[in-house]
Amino acid sequence: MKFIKIMMACSIFVIALAVISCQKVQYKSRDTSYLKPPPPDTTKPVIDTSAVLSNCDQLDGWNIVNGGTLITVAPKEGKGYVQGTIAPGGNFMQFQLALATPVNTKQTLATGELKFWWYIQDVSQIDPGGQIQMSSANNPDDFRLGWGLSSILDTLHAGWNHLQLRFADAYGLTDADLVNLKAINFMRIFYNTKANVTTAQTYGIDDMRVDVAAPVMLSNCDQLDATWNIVNGGLLVTKGQKQGTGYLQGTVAVGGNFMQFQLTPAAPIDTKTTKDVGYLEFWFYVQDPTQYATGGQIQISSANNPDDFHLGWGLDAIMPTLKPGWNHLKLKMTDAYGYTDADQINLKAFNYMRIFFNITKATTAQTYGIDDVEVDVK
């Protein structure tokens, strides 16, 4: 009996094993046709057009007080930075760079700026009589541009500072022996401390280059204050802006046909440019460009009004190029009317901007927006 039970159990086991072995194994399909490729990256690449004078990753070409040191810990760019130290009892620091091959900065006196990182252990120790100089004559006294530290030190703090020094703000712009920006071969930064230092003071330089000068902000449009006058009062919108924390919106109500954005800054703004190389740039939101009528204008002035000492651009030629939504406008000053007027705009004292236009009588509310208004070069 026991033997029979064992045989029955074995039979059941064999039958179960046979059933399992006959079942179809489910494998994961290798068909990938249902998979969609990721959308293409349409982000425009950032193209660096700057001219490097020194990446400061080696001491070659540098003459630094007390010999200098290459530091490879926590540089601002690349593999290292050059460091100089004033020993206790000393009072002078100099970073001097002689370039074996002259550098073409690819900029003009109107468009360029010198950029570099400067580490300062204690700003309060530095005497304001120091200088920053660049030259095409292998020395700091001829064919040069320079900037006095007296106008720079108040903007600096202990630690790393990023300097952006416009050529247009330098001395040497009117020298007879004008710097050759296609052949820069010498840089010098020198200064004294106000007294002999009692503890060692360290300074560093990194990533020295020439680039297009940074734009000058006329309005970031992040607040709606007394500087702006917008039809129907305007509105600060904090969603969908192109820059910063908001943009300014104006609305033409149903039955209306006029829009105006008017900016009068609290104090005149030096745009740091000239008519020959300057651009007015801003973001302009248009709900429906086809609603535009005719005769609209964009104007900037240094006379607190749109009719004197001004530059302007007609919207009749601009509106047909715009699409519904945000549009980035970059308006060349050389294309503006007023460019040859007797009462020339003073770009060192900008104090007024106006954008105004009519539309066909609105049957639905029409919204418009302004963001990030600035003056740029190139």
Q: How far is CA 344 from CA 109, 263, 302, 311, 374, in A?
A: 21, 20, 9, 8, 20
The domain 216-377 belongs to what CATH superfamily? Galactose-binding domain-like (2.60.120.260)
Backbone phi and psi for residue 71, each to the nearest 5 degrees, phi listed first: -105, 125
CA distance 215 to 208: 19
Taking only the tens of pLDDT, the chain with its 378 residues reads: 444 445 555 555 545 544 445 454 454 545 454 445 555 544 445 567 799 999 999 999 999 999 999 999 999 999 999 999 999 999 999 999 999 999 999 999 999 999 999 999 999 999 999 999 999 999 989 999 999 999 999 999 999 999 999 999 999 998 889 999 999 999 999 999 999 999 999 999 999 999 999 999 999 999 999 999 999 999 999 999 999 999 999 999 999 999 999 999 999 999 999 999 999 999 999 999 999 999 999 999 999 998 899 999 999 999 999 999 999 999 999 999 998 888 899 999 999 999 999 999 889 999 999 999 999 997
Q: What is the pTM assigned to this prediction? A: 0.77
| Candidate CATH numbers 2.40.50.100, 3.40.50.1820, 2.60.120.260, 1.10.1370.20; the one for domain 51-212 | 2.60.120.260
Where are the chain's structural domains? 51-212, 216-377
SS3 state at 7: helix
Amino acid 313 reads W
CA distance 135 to 188: 9
Q: How far is CA 86 from CA 83, 125, 276, 277, 362, in A?
A: 10, 11, 45, 42, 71
Backbone phi and psi for residue 102, each to the nearest 5 degrees, phi listed first: -55, 145
- Residue 298 neighbours by CB under 8 Å, 6+ apart: 280, 312, 313, 315, 318, 329, 331, 353, 354, 355
Cβ distance 266 to 352 under 8 Å? Answer: no
CA distance 263 to 268: 11
Q: List 191's β-bridge partners, or say none.
A: 93
Q: Is the dihedral of CA 329, 330, 335, 340 positive or negative?
A: positive
- Residue 144 neighbours by CB under 8 Å, 6+ apart: 133, 134, 135, 136, 137, 172, 175, 179
Label residue 69 exposed, middle or buried (CB < 10 Å: 0-12, 13-18, 19+). middle
SS3 state at 88: coil
CA distance 317 to 226: 31
Tokens for 225? 């204050």
CA dihedral 212, 218, 222, 224 (to 10 degrees): -170
How many residues does this entry show for the chain? 378
CA distance 299 to 355: 6
Task: Give pLDDT, residue 42.
Answer: 43
Cβ distance 321 to 239 under 8 Å? Answer: no
How many Cβ atoms sit within 10 Å of the Cβ of residue 365?
13
Domains 51-212 and 216-377 share a fold: yes
CA distance 350 to 302: 5
Tokens for 342? 């007797």
Quick: pLDDT tens for 21-77. 545 445 454 545 444 555 554 444 556 779 999 999 999 999 999 999 999 999 999
Task: Give pLDDT, residue 314.
Answer: 98
Radius of gyration of the chain measured on its C-alpha atoms: 33
